Amino acid sequence: MALIEYDTRAATAFAAGRHLDDDALRGWRERIAHYLRPTAETRLLDLGAGTGQWMSAFRRWYGLTPLGIEPSAAMRALAQESILGGDAEHIPLPDGDVDAVWLSTVVHHLPDLPAAAAEIRRVLRPGGLVLIRSAFAGRPDGISLFTHFPEAATAMATRFPSALDVARGFASAGFAALALEPVPQLTAPTLGHIVDTFDRAAHTPLLLIGDEEYARGLARLRSADPTQPVVDALDLLVLRASGEAAAQS
């Protein structure tokens, strides 16, 4: 089971508070292209596609036609992209169908990493890439949210996997880690831009702390300098599948 259930309330909050424009995501566009070297023919699967933000970005940036899979019906209902139902352990695609798989702020929702890795390996072509955008346990420093909600960083340390946890889970399915690097993004032009519309439901780590801890963090957020830009750095973990096709069961 995922850490939270993306019902209509959570999906709406996510769509309102987590979508960023192309300028804000420039660093991600560059780093994904560095590893993937996409063309119009690249078969790229967005696994846990949410409301399709990244699918739309990949279409604009690289001219490819992305595939999307998302388990939450509420998320799919808000999407402008065509997204299939499914999850990381049940991907409705044939064997060896895609060149790469993208997971953005998804990996902490996977209850069985080796099982998910095996299913991802099944749909990947030999030598294919998995690109994981995430906050990992033990690496909170680049994320401004935790400046105001340090209790959420503590919760993340025990409830989210570390990058090593993920690499080990995928190694069981024949993946090798190629890179781990923080990638900066402009989450908001100023802190004041997001304070008035800040929604707890849009941030999984905030749903892992108590109401009193959240209230204290919200007070810190509202008392901070509203003119400062909000720049965050989530991690990009890149893994490559072995050069052989996945064994069939």
Q: What percent of the chain has pLDDT over 90?
A: 80
HSE toward the beta carbon, residue 42, CA cutoff 13 A? 24
Question: Is pLDDT of 247 > 60?
Answer: no
Can you tell me whether residue 110 is helix, strand or coil?
coil
Q: Is residue 246 part of a domain?
A: no
Rounded to 5 degrees, φ, ψ at 244 are -105, 150
Q: Measured on CA atoms in the order 149, 155, 160, 164, is the torsion positive or negative?
A: positive
The pLDDT of residue 66 is above 50: yes
Q: Do the domain assignments include residue 247?
A: no
| 222 has a pLDDT exceeding 60 | yes
207, pLDDT greater than 80: yes
248 within a domain of the structure (yes/no)? no
- CATH, residue 113: 3.40.50.150
pLDDT value at position 249?
A: 41
CB atoms inside a 10 Å sphere around CB 170: 26
Mean pLDDT of 171-178: 97
For residue 233, is it within any domain? yes
Strands (E), the chain: 44-47, 67-69, 98-104, 124-134, 175-188, 230-241
Q: Does 221 map to a domain?
A: yes
Residue 2 included in any domain: no
The pLDDT tens digits of the residues spanning 98-124 come to 999 999 999 999 999 999 999 999 999
Residue-number span of the structural domain to which 206 is assigned: 8-241
Of 194 and 32, the one with more pLDDT:
32
**For tokens 């999906």, what's the residue?**
11
Q: Does 85 map to a domain?
A: yes
Query: What is the rounded CA–CA span in Å between residue 108 and residue 138?
Result: 13
Token pair in block for residue 190: 């100023």
Q: How confident is the model at residue 243 (pLDDT cuts 50, 70, 90)?
A: confident
Q: Cβ distance 120 to 147 under 8 Å? A: no
Mean of the pLDDT values across residues 16-38?
A: 88
Number of domains into which the chain is organized? 1
Note whether residue 3 is domain-resident. Answer: no
Cα–Cα distances in angstroms (integers) from residue 60 to residues 6, 114, 189, in the given order = 26, 33, 22
Residue 244 above 80 pLDDT? no
Band (12; pLDDT cuts 50, 70, 90)? low
- Please give the share of the chain, as a percent, with pLDDT higher than 70: 90
Quick one: average pLDDT of 82-89?
96
User: What is the overall mean pLDDT for the chain?
Assistant: 91
Q: Which of 198, 242, 237, 239 is nearest to 104 (CA)?
A: 237
Provide CB contacts within 8 A for 9, sequence distance 6+: 201
Greatest Cα-to-Cα distance within the chain, rounded to the nearest angstrom: 57
What residue spans of 24-149 are helical by DSSP H?
A: 26-36, 53-62, 73-78, 113-123, 145-148
The set of residues, in sequence order, having a beta carbon less than 8 Å from that of 160 and lying 6+ positions away, is 108, 134, 135, 136, 137, 205
Residue 237 has a pLDDT of 98
Q: Give pLDDT tens digits for 128-167.
A: 999 999 999 999 999 999 999 999 999 999 999 999 999 9
